[in-house]
Structure formats: C-alpha cells, structure tokens
Structure 1
Amino acid sequence: MDKGLSIEKESFDIIEQNVDLSKFSDEEKIVVKRVIHASGDFDFAKQIILSNNWLTNFKKIIQTKPAVVCDVNMVKAGITEKYLKVSGLKTHCFISDESIKELAKLKGKTRAETSIEHAFENFDNIIFVIGNAPTALLKVIELNSLYTDKNIFVLGFPVGFVKAAESKEMLTKTDIPFITNKGTKGGSGIAAAAFNALIKVYFNV
C-alpha cells in the first residue's frame, strides 16, 4: 500500500477507536471521519449536523453538474483535484476578483457577501462550500429565500466568534439541504474535507 494511504488508513482506524460513530449511516461516517481527520478534533463527531434527506438531495444536485462556489481561496485549494476530475465539476471563488472588490466597496458590503450575490446571479445549481466567512453563509440563507428557482446545497463551516455559530444555527432552521456543525469551530480545511468526502461517497472513489 502507498505510504500516504497507509497513514490515512491508520488515522481513520484511530478515529474509529476514539469516537462513537454508531448513530451515523455508512455514507455519513465517511463525511464525519474526513472532517475529524482534517481537523484533528474528535469533538466533530458530536457537533456535525446533517439535514434530513441530505444524501438524496446531494445526489439530485450533483446530477445537474452544479457550480462549486467556495467563499475563500483556501477552501478551493483544499478540494482534491482528482475528485474534480472524477466528478467533472468546476470550483469557483470570486472573493479576490477586482470587480467583486470594487462592487463590495461601492455597496458597503463584505467581499464574501458580494461573492455570494454574484454566484446566485450567475448559476442556477450551486454547491456552496463555506469554511471561513459567516457573512457568506448568512447571505446564502438570505438569497435562498429570494431566488426560489435556484437549486443549492450547502457545506457550512464558517469559523470564529462573530456570527459563526449563529449563522450555522440559522442554516439548520431552513429548508436548504446542508452539512454543518454546532459552535464556533470550522475552517477552510474542514469545509474542503467535507466536499471531498461527498465526492468520494457519490462516485465511490
């Protein structure tokens, strides 16, 4: 076995020895273990929340070849290239675009918010992968109620002490299909790991 794969397998074995995953389905276990592996934090087994029928909804949206919109470039960088090739999906991150910077300044909004607005205006089917900005997740929630013709799925893992926990709690009260976690923990690597896990689940790679 490849040395990298051997280390990964050993890591997953350690995770299974240290946390109770019995409440999760086989598909959910893949997501949870990859999030724990990316974070080094066993607590995520207790904190992760998956919406009802999340897998059915993910399978539906993946068939539309959705745009994968990341809130920051660190999330985009964490998505494994081979999974993109297998899925045929394309990642997008607009936060550093000059047009987004100018528009955000003009509107008095964050670049994260403006990026999400841009995504809703330009794509009909979107998987949002959010690992940094609570304002991005809040904007997704807001615009989902306005763009009722859009088909979205959200991986919501913003991190921090200002609106991160609140935005994730708000997400759980919507009709948006999602995977998120309770509290202030999160991050780009975790959001990317969750997306990679979903591609692994769907394409069995």
Structure 2
Amino acid sequence: MEHRLLWDLTGPEIEAESFRRIDAEASPEQRARFTAAEWHVARRLVHTTADFGILDFLKFTPGAVESGLAALRRGALIYTDSNMIKSGLSVPKLQKFHPGYTRDAILCPVADPATARLAAERSITRALAAVELHAERLDGAIFLCGNAPLALAGMVKLALERGIRPALAVGMPVGFVNVVESKEYLMETGLEYITLAGRRGGSPLAVATLHGIIENA
C-alpha cells in the first residue's frame, strides 16, 4: 500500500498547507459568520481540533479581537486558569507586542499555597479561590479559561458585582458540570469575549485563541 506522505515539508510549510486546506474546506456559510480578524482565530481552533463543527458554536463580541490586540500592545497581564495554558503560550510571539512578556509574567495562581488555604477555608475550588484572591489584577487583563468553569463564572461575578473588567475574556472551559452555564453567564455580560458555546473547550483551545488573535498583527 502506498502512503502519500509529504516528506519534504518543513514545519512552517505544513502549518501553511493546513491553513490552506482549512480555508478551502470550510463552507461559505461557516466563513460568512466571521470577520477577517475573527477568521484567524476560528481557523486556528479548527487547526487545533481538526473539527469544523466547532465553527457553529464559536462566538465573539464585535470588539473582542481588537481589544485583545490592544491589551497585548500595552503588556496587559495574562491570567490563566491552568498551567497547561501558561506552558502552551508562545513567549516569543507575545514579546513581539511587549518585552515584559515572559513565562513568569503569565499569572496562574491555582497551585499557590494562598489559593489552597482559601479554597480549604471556604470549601470552594482552587480555581475559584485563585480568581477571588487576584480580583483587582484582572481589571484590564486578558483572562484565559480553558479548564475550570468556576474560574470563568467567578470572574464574571466579579465583573457584575465589583465592576472589574478584563480587556478580553476567553471562555473555553470543557466538561459536564457548570460548563454550559458559565459560558452563558459570560455571554450575558457586557465584557469583550470569545467563547465556544456548549460543553467543548479545553486549555489547548484557550491557547489557540490567543495565538489566533496574535496572527492579526
């Protein structure tokens, strides 16, 4: 049996060919749902999952991409709900926007001792405790949620009750409990957001979303 593998392509060439195929295979109806800026994000998510079906569930506020880009240009704090997101973000790409972006500058406090203490005292998840402990730092930040729905819901609650407003909320938690509800909670606010309605999501998709925003620069 002959395998028609493309042996002589470099990594960047494989990525470019992947995007070409995504552009070609996405239906006109799917493409029409997105602006050119949003499509950079949308096709990055398809590239990450090989699933065109997610395009029907992907939602943006009109200013989401530009708000994210503006936050990156000023070196806004990036808050993540999982170390997988922190590890997956490309620091070289971020540093094209602002030299202050380093791996250590990306905030992921879910495993901090103070977070564990508050979670135990209040009988809440560490993801929610972490958001509450760092509430003031979320104002103007880029908030990336790809794991814990209560991190997303907790941030929205802070926005509604205390006026704390991230520059961009990426709501991509995955699972069966509190996931759909947290995304719907986000979509009821006036925050700038990108989210994937329904149960699907995950840390790789949160990473891919920010990388897709970066590709607009």
TM over 0.5: yes
Runs (4+) off by over 6 Å? none
Per-residue CA deviation, residues 104-132 of structure 1 (Å, 9 max, x unaligned), is 11121110001111221345321100000
Residue of structure 2 aligned with 1:92, choices 89, 94, 107: 107
Provide the residue aligned with 1:158 in structure 2. 173
Q: Percent of aligned positions with the same letter in both sequences?
A: 30
| Matched AA of 1:9 | A
* Structure showing the higher strand proportion among its residues: 1
Residue 43 of structure 1 aligns to a residue whose secondary structure is helix
1:43 aligns with 2:27: no
Of stretches 148-157 and 38-47 in structure 1, the one that deviates more from structure 2 is: 148-157
Residue of structure 2 aligned with 1:82, choices 73, 92, 95: 92
Instruction: Compute the displacement of 1:162 (Å).
Output: 0.8
1:23 aligns with 2:52: no
Aligned counterparts of 2:57 and 2:135: Cα–Cα separation in 1: 29
Instruction: Compute the displacement of 1:157 (Å).
Output: 0.2
Tell me if structure 2 keeps the 8 A contact 1:19–1:45: no
5+ residue gaps, structure 1, are none
Alignment of 1:107-146 (within 5 A): 107-146=122-161
Provide the residue aligned with 1:10 in structure 2. 17
Tell me if structure 1 keeps the 8 A contact 2:78–2:141: yes
Provide the residue aligned with 2:186 in structure 1. 171
Tell me if structure 2 keeps the 8 A contact 1:61–1:151: no
Compute the TM-score of the two structures, normalised by the length of structure 2. 0.86
Aligned counterparts of 1:196 and 1:165: Cα–Cα separation in 2: 24
Of stretches 143-152 and 113-122 in structure 1, the one that deviates more from structure 2 is: 143-152
Per-residue CA deviation, residues 58-94 of structure 1 (Å, 9 max, x unaligned), is 3443444211000010111111121122122331100
| Matched AA of 1:40 | A
Q: How many residues align?
A: 202
Question: Which structure would you say has the larger Rg?
Answer: 2
| Matched AA of 1:49 | K
5+ residue gaps, structure 2, are 1-7
Aligned counterparts of 2:13 and 2:109: Cα–Cα separation in 1: 36
Compute the TM-score of the two structures, normalised by the length of structure 1. 0.91
Provide the residue aligned with 1:148 in structure 2. 163
Alignment of 1:48-59 (within 5 A): 48-59=58-69
